[in-house]
Amino acid sequence: MVENRPWLTVLSHAVLILGVIAVAFPLYITFIASTLTLEQVMQVPMQLTPGDQLVQNYSQVLGGGTNTGSKAAVSNMLVNSLVMALAIPLGKIAISVISAFAIVYFRFPLRMFFFWMIFVTLMLPVEVRIIPTFKVIADLGMLNTYAGLTVPLIASATATFLFRQFFMTVPDELAEAARVDGASPMRFFWDVLLPLSKTTMAALFVIQFIYGWNQYLWPLLVTTDESMYTTVIGIKRMIVGGDAANEWNLIMATAILAMLPPALVVMLMQKWFVKGLVETEK
Amino acid sequence: MAAVSFRDVRKSYTPELQVIHGVSMDIADGEFVVILGPSGCGKSTLLRMVAGLETITAGEISIGDRVVNQLEPKDRDIAMVFQNYALYPHMSVYDNMAYGLRIRGLSKAEIDARVQKAASILELGKFLERKPRALSGGQRQRVAMGRAIVREPQVFLFDEPLSNLDAKLRVQMRGELQSLHRRLGTTSLFVTHDQVEAMTLAQRMIVMNAGRAEQIGAPLEVYAKPATTFVASFIGSPPMNLIPREGKLLGVRPEHFEPCAPAEAQLTLDVDLVEPLGSDTLVYGHLGGDRDTRVAARLHSSVDARTGKLPLRYDRANVHWFDPQSGKRIET
């Protein structure tokens, strides 16, 4: 848009700046709190300049959690979160790319029925089916295991649907050319379809990594053992009742640690992420 | 190289929906045959049946001395060039051409030799490392042909390969296709809706309409003796004039009219549109008293054409007669 209305520019900047403050200020507070001693955090109002406890606080939570709340080491939780946040997107992508391939490129009996069955599960997120899912996982002895943390979250219609939509935009002639070239269906899948889906996979990976990392309810149910806590659960376990009893400086340090990996993934994969959502390479 | 033959080939998607109604033809070894027809006439379907991308409902297609009805595309020893080229977007030009050969398990040296040879024939040497999206339409078209050439197939199948190119490039590629065929001598089947392509490329052509082969013959023969009114009005630009006369249809090509004195006129045209093309002039109009029959005439540019009455005559040797019911040619 080419417009020259100064007051409009001022107004739009004002709105944007307010928005940035609304989002960034809490993050700033979190960071500041994580660099202070417990006494400094408890002062009202809290100081808004960084303190000198940065290394001290972070090394304490990484090594041994809080003093009053959970004593599980955050470094271990970060590993658990990472395993979960990697296993979910990788598992989802692997399963859904194959099922989308079957649904788009093969004619088999009840093909549309199966597609709709997968599609219908969109209506059943983890929270809705949580009790039966918990029962199944518990009966299978998968509580407090990585499998129990990830498998129920891997089954997903969203990714299947996304890949199906992408495959349908790939020209039929490409599959036909591969057939004439003598490529078997799996070879076509591996040599042509997968390389073309790279950007879609990258976008899905980013979304699902964050989804996996931020899981709260499900890990809360299936992990009872400290060594299996994920970071998000770890934060919850550090909060033990009354306001005064909590070591907010350490909790805030954990929160910052919990925020960093998703932010890093988004920043590093931003180019691919946007590409996967808007651009198709055909 | 091999001959291709169609034996009463039929295709239907459902019992009611038949799209190819029995096509029979023999294509000689090394022949360049064009399948010509309007969109939806089944010409691409016929080609895809040869390629093995569509099943054959009834009849037989053989390549060489093998009936290929039940063979997979890769076992038919054919190569196909698609309308939108269908290049693998993530592979370099070299890999696009080499992909089929790698699948066949040819040695690296053999693949390289074939790709380099095709690249030099098609002048693609400079582009081998590029991705298809970094190429122009004409270059992509060449890569698609290169992919077909390296296979050294018995038969080339072309599915409207030139229709995505601009007019100038199309003429150029037409010439290149012709010289390529002279050089390789591979049996070729070429589908198009463009009669100029058909006339210039074909050694023989099949004119198709609604799933039937209306006429099979050499281009000039088809032009000179159209077997049906469909062929008469499909080939030639402007198409042949069909004028009802004595219960039959009189067919006269626009270029067979010449202006004359009113007393000698075999028909008088009520001209309402004049198109000067430089080399000659097209005039369009109605016949006097017959508003339904539009007639076009191609006149020499020296004729001072203008709207109004134009007396015309034609040579009786150059006219065609058709049966108005069946549309079939009546031999005189």
Do the Cβ atoms of A176 and B80 come within 8 Å? Answer: yes
Taking CB atoms and an 8 Å cutoff, what residues of chain A touch B79?
A: 180
Which residue, among B103, B133, B163, B191, would best test binding to A if mutated, counting the most A CBs under 10 Å from its CB? B103
Nearest CA in chain A to B101: A181
Alpha carbon of A113: minimum distance to chain B alpha carbons (Å): 22
* A contact test, residue of B13, B63, B85, B99 with most A CBs within 10 A: B99
pLDDT tens for B104-126 read: 999 999 999 999 999 988 888 89
Closest approach of chain B CAs to the CA of A195, in angstroms? 7
Distance CA B197, CA B83 (A): 14
Instruction: State the sign of the Cα–Cα–Cα–Cα dihedral A68, A71, A74, A77.
Output: negative
Best A169, A181, A193, A197 member to test B by mutation, with max B CBs in 10 Å, is: A181
Separation CA B19–CA B262 (nearest Å) = 49
- What's the order of all strands across the beta sheet hosting B187-192? B78-81, B155-159, B187-192, B32-36, B204-209, B212-217
Please report the beta strands in B43-146, taking only residues with DSSP state E, as ranges in sequence order: 58-63, 66-67, 78-81
Nearest to A281 among B80, B86, B89 (CB): B89
Q: Can you give the pLDDT at residue A282?
A: 45
CA distance A23 to A17: 10
Residues of A with CB under 8 A from a CB of B: 171, 173-174, 176-183, 187, 191-192, 195-196, 281-282
Would you give per-residue pLDDT tens digits along chain B (332 residues)? 789 999 999 999 888 888 999 899 999 999 999 999 998 888 999 999 999 999 999 999 999 889 999 999 989 999 999 998 899 999 999 999 999 999 999 999 999 999 999 998 888 889 999 999 899 888 998 899 999 999 889 999 999 988 888 888 888 889 889 998 998 899 999 999 998 999 999 999 999 998 889 999 999 999 999 999 999 989 988 889 888 888 888 899 999 988 888 888 888 888 889 998 888 899 998 887 667 788 899 988 888 777 788 888 888 888 899 998 888 888 87
| Minimum-distance CB partner of A180 among B51, B84, B90 | B51
Q: Do B83 and A183 touch (CB under 8 A)?
A: no
Collapsing DSSP states into helix, strand and coil, what is residue B34? strand
Does the distance separating the beta carbons of A191 and B86 come in below 8 Å? no
Q: Which residues of chain A have pLDDT under 70?
A: 1-2, 242-244, 276-282
Contact B100 A181 (CB under 8 A): yes
Q: Which residue of B has its CA nearest to A170?
A: B86
Phi-psi domain of B25 (left: phi exceeds 0; alpha: psi -120 through 50; beta: other): beta
Contact A177 B53 (CB under 8 A): no
- Contact between A179 and A202 under an 8 Å Cβ cutoff? The reply is no
For A173, the closest of B73, B79, B82 (CB atoms) is B82
Position A278 scores a pLDDT of: 67
Q: Residue A172, Cβ neighbours under 10 Å: how many?
A: 13
Beta B187-192 vs B155-159: how paired, if at all?
parallel
> Cβ(B237)–Cβ(B195) under 8 Å?
yes
Q: Do A174 and B86 touch (CB under 8 A)?
A: yes
**Nearest Cα to A274, choosing from A12, A266, A249, B64?**
A266
Scan for tokens 């939108």, then name that residue. B84
**How far off is chain A from B138, nearest CA to CA, in Å?**
17
Distance from C-alpha of A206 to C-alpha of A273, rounded to nearest angstrom: 7
Instruction: Give chain B positions within 8 Å (CB) of A174.
Output: 86, 88
Beta bridge partners of A191: none
Between CA B88 and CA B95 the distance in angstroms is 9
Which chain A positions have a beta carbon within 8 Å of B55's beta carbon? none
Dihedral sign, CA of B329, B231, B220, B42?
A: negative
The answer, for B102 touching chain A at a CB cutoff of 8 Å, is no
Instruction: Collect contacts of A203-207 with beta carbons under 8 A, ≥24 apart.
Output: A203/A272, A203/A273, A203/A275, A203/A276, A203/A277, A204/A89, A204/A92, A204/A93, A204/A159, A204/A162, A204/A276, A205/A89, A205/A90, A205/A93, A205/A269, A206/A265, A206/A266, A206/A269, A206/A272, A206/A273, A207/A89
Q: Which of B53, B87, B147 sits opposite A176 (nearest CB)?
A: B53
Among A173, A174, A183, the residue with its CB nearest the CB of B103 is A183
Q: What is the DSSP string of B62-75?
A: EETTEE-TT--GGG
Is the whole-model pTM more than 0.90? no
Ramachandran angles phi, psi of B187, nearest 5°: -55, 130
**String of b and e for A196-235 (b: at least 16 CB within 10 Å)?**
bbebbbbbbbbbbbbbbbebeebbebbbeebebbbbbbbb
Chain B contact set for A192 (CB, 8 A): 88, 90
Taking alpha carbons only, the member of B111, B116, B113, B165 closest to residue B141 is B165
Give the residue from chain B lying closest to A187, CA to CA.
B103
**Paired tokens of B267:** 């028909």
Which residue, chain included where needed, has tokens 């799996």?
A186
| Beta strands B241-245; B248-252: pairing state | antiparallel
Predicted local distance difference test score (pLDDT) of residue A277: 66
Res B165: pLDDT: 85
Beta-carbon contacts of residue B78 (< 8 Å; ≥ 6 apart): A180, B50, B51, B52, B63, B153, B154, B155, B156, B157
Burial of A183 (0-12, 13-18, 19+ CB in 10 A): buried
Q: Give B52's contacts in chain A (Cβ within 8 Å).
A: 179-180
User: Strand, helix or coil at A177?
Assistant: helix
CA-based max dimension of chain B = 78
Instruction: Check CB contact of B104 with chain A, cutoff 8 Å.
Output: yes
A65 torsion bin: left (phi>0), alpha (psi -120 to 50), beta (else): left
User: CB-based contact (8 Å) between B90 and chain A?
Assistant: yes
The answer to whether A177 contacts B86, with C-beta atoms less than 8 Å apart, is yes
- What residue type is A23 in one-letter code? V
Q: Are the beta carbons of A180 and B89 separated by less than 8 Å?
A: no
Contact A179 B100 (CB under 8 A): no
Helix (H) or strand (E) holding A11: helix A6-33
Name the H helices within A106-230.
111-120, 130-139, 146-154, 157-169, 172-180, 185-188, 194-196, 198-213, 217-222
Question: In angstroms, rounded to a whole number, what is the distance separating the alpha carbons of residues B332 and B318?
Answer: 12
**B311/chain A closest Cα distance in angstroms:** 53
